[in-house]
Amino acid sequence: MDHDKLVRVIRRLALEAGDRIMAVYNSPDFAVKTKADASPVTEADEAADALISAGLRAAFPDITLITEEQAASHALTARTFLIVDPLDGTKEFVQRRGDFTVNIAYVEDGVPVRGVVYAPAQGRLFYTQADGSSVEETGAFDKVVAGAVHRVGVSTP
């Protein structure tokens, strides 16, 4: 896996998905549906999932993709895969509490090795760099060029 490419792609997709999510979040009203498991889903979940899925499939066509919003993908098995929760915290989103994130991870042999967590309402972006270090990016986010970062500490399980 080209980790430089992976980080560029997942970072950009998380930011783009965040824009779609915030457009819905800031709208006067939006519909909330119920999934088969009785959890809520909104047009923001679906729009973010469609954008991220299309981007990941285009960039990494040979890697299995599992996403929360595509139930059929939950039965897929692979040692290496991408996993996506396009809007983690839909209940908080619906309540307009601002506590929700875009999550994308690359997993090898059951271990997440690279990933991004973007909290668009909070303006916070965390990701794993190509070298494996975990960082928070600060300042205004450019979708193509990463800005200033500072390392964050992580614990291992």
Q: Is residue 123 part of a domain?
A: yes
Spatial CB neighbours of 126, under 8 Å, sequence gap ≥ 6: 116, 117, 118, 134, 135, 136, 137, 152
137 is in an annotated binding site: no
We report the CATH number of the domain holding residue 111 as 3.30.540.10
Q: Is residue 43 part of a domain?
A: yes
pLDDT in tens, 128-139: 999 999 999 998
Q: Is residue 156 part of a domain?
A: no
Q: Is residue 157 part of a domain?
A: no
pLDDT at 131: 95
Give the pair of three-digit tokens for residue 27: 């709208």
85 is in an annotated binding site: yes
88 is in an annotated binding site: yes
4 is in an annotated binding site: no
| Cβ neighbours of 143 (radius 10 Å) | 14
Within the chain, which residues score under 50 in pLDDT? 74
Provide the whole-model pTM. Answer: 0.92
Q: Is residue 81 part of a domain?
A: yes
Number of domains in the chain: 1
Q: Is residue 60 part of a domain?
A: yes
Q: Which domain holds residue 113?
A: 3-151
Q: Name the residue among 6, 2, 11, 1 with its Cα closest to residue 126.
A: 11
pLDDT in tens, 84-109: 999 999 999 999 999 999 999 999 99
